[in-house]
Chain A
Amino acid sequence: MAGMLKRLWNSAPVAAVRAFAAHPLVQRSFVVFTVAVFVYAAWVGLTQAPPDREMGDVQRIMYAHVPMVQMMLLAGTILFVCSVLYLFRASWRTDALAEASAELALVYGAIGTTLGAIWGRPTWGVYWAWDPRLTTVAILLVALAGYLALRRFVDDAERRAVWASVTAIIIAADVPIIYFSVKWWKSLHQVQSNPRTVDPQMVHALRWNITAFFLVFIVFLVVRYRIALAARLREVTVPDAQPRAREAVAS
């Protein structure tokens, strides 16, 4: 399977696309394109989409809050996949991608949760109502901060990569449990309202915003990944040395 993917990756058409994407002018244009889409999506969300029947214009916060939290979940998924992958096949690229996605998850999650709280004030009446989804995200943010602290406090690059992978897996395994426990814990008290976006103009605005935030996410991820990979390669004295394969370690 891995061999087949490698052959695909090195095949002529894919290599041509990769060379194209690696060109600095192409990359810079992509960033400009991203900014343009972002501005357009913001305009659609703030002016073109209609106000909600009940929430009024406060509805528009959803066009930023929903994509931010979705990107956070995407980053979290990438983190989990990379962590599992690293334990099977150690690679600095996988480790660098894990570090990048963890940081992005924290940033997107923090901003997204703040937006959720701001939305909550006029709609729930309070900034924080222990909504199960928002609470789970908040707990996840603390866990991610712990993950990033762990990365900072371990000096040996290989151990850091293994321990970080283990930590990410532990966190990921906990997410559904946290969600259910908060849901049960809270269900003893009150019912929450969920925002609905069924109006086609609202769906249109939301789609544009999700696209825009996704493009920004890609730009951030690539940049952060490169920073992480460069740091990793600097740490290792022989640049070509990959972390020792699992099979080679006598256990």
Chain B
Amino acid sequence: MRHPGLLASTWVLFRKDLLVEWRSRSRINALVFFSLATLLLFSFALGPDTALLRRNAGGYLWLALLLSSVLALGESFRVERENAALEGLRLVPVDARAIFLSKGLANAVLLVGLGILLVPVLVALLDVRLVLPWPRLLVLTVLGCLAIAAPGTLYGAIASHARARDVLLPLLLFPILIPALVAAAKGTALVFEGDPMDQLNSWVALLASFDILYWGLGVVLFPRVVEE
């Protein structure tokens, strides 16, 4: 039997992950409401000075996404642990790199969806406007969510087999993501407020470099993480 190539395996697993997520839509709904709730919390904690809220909207968006990602990533691997699904996959045998790519992409897609959903909420709640064209915000969102997904998937796999996994995942993930958080939040703020000094491209470049580095590292290191 000819083993499927890396890309083919990735595509099959990716569709499987999205299908599993779609079938448990209630999980996604809970995630959406969680991220909305965090936005509300930020507004109440720091409002009601609307000018201040508007200025910090970029930061709130990415904090909400970051906090939601921890839940999403934890769930993503809990699904695998039940019924030892991950071990079953490895026995087929499936290239571990395909598992990383597919899971990472599925998580990224989920986060991008969440981000897109949150923007109109930001517009309504915090009175932000898109000064720069929306494709730039989309690029930022995609790059930022990819940045969360790569180390997130790697650490998600590790944490799911450790004790205190719900605490361990954010503890491991957050320090690593600080540069991505800074770049994404600053970039989003520039999209909302305007970019007179043309800084947006620097932040996008930083995010892109982060993505390339961590997706590369993930492909190399993930097989070591899941091997027996």
Q: Which residues on A are within 8 Å of B, measured CB to CB? A: 87, 139-140, 142-143, 145-147, 149-150, 153-155, 159, 162-163, 165-167, 169-171, 173-174, 177-178, 180-182, 184-185, 249, 251
Contact = CB atoms under 8 A, between A and B. Distances in A.
B64 interface: no
B176 A169 contact: no
In this complex, the member of B154, B176, B210 whose beta carbon has the largest number of chain A beta carbons within 10 angstroms is: B176
Contacts of B165: 153
Which secondary structure dominates chain B's binding surface?
helix
Given A143-B175, A146-B175, A182 B182 contact: yes
Interface stretch (B2-10, B110-118, B125-133, B220-228): B220-228
A89 B105 CA distance: 31
A178 B168 contact: no
Contact of B217 (A162, A165, A170): A170
Instruction: Give the interface size bracket for B toward A.
Output: 35 or more
Contact of B154 (A143, A154, A170): A170
Contact of B163 (A153, A165, A185): A153
Interface string B191-217: 000000000001100100110011001
A171 B176 contact: yes
B206 A150 contact: no
Given A170-B176, A177-B209, A249 B171 contact: no
B158 A180 contact: no
B168 A177 contact: no
B227 A139 contact: no
Contacts of A180: 179, 206
A173 B175 contact: no
A249 B228 CA distance: 8
A145 B171 contact: yes
Given A177-B179, A181-B178, A166 B186 contact: no
Contacts of A87: 224
B219 to A, nearest CB: 13
A147 B217 CA distance: 17
B172 interface: yes
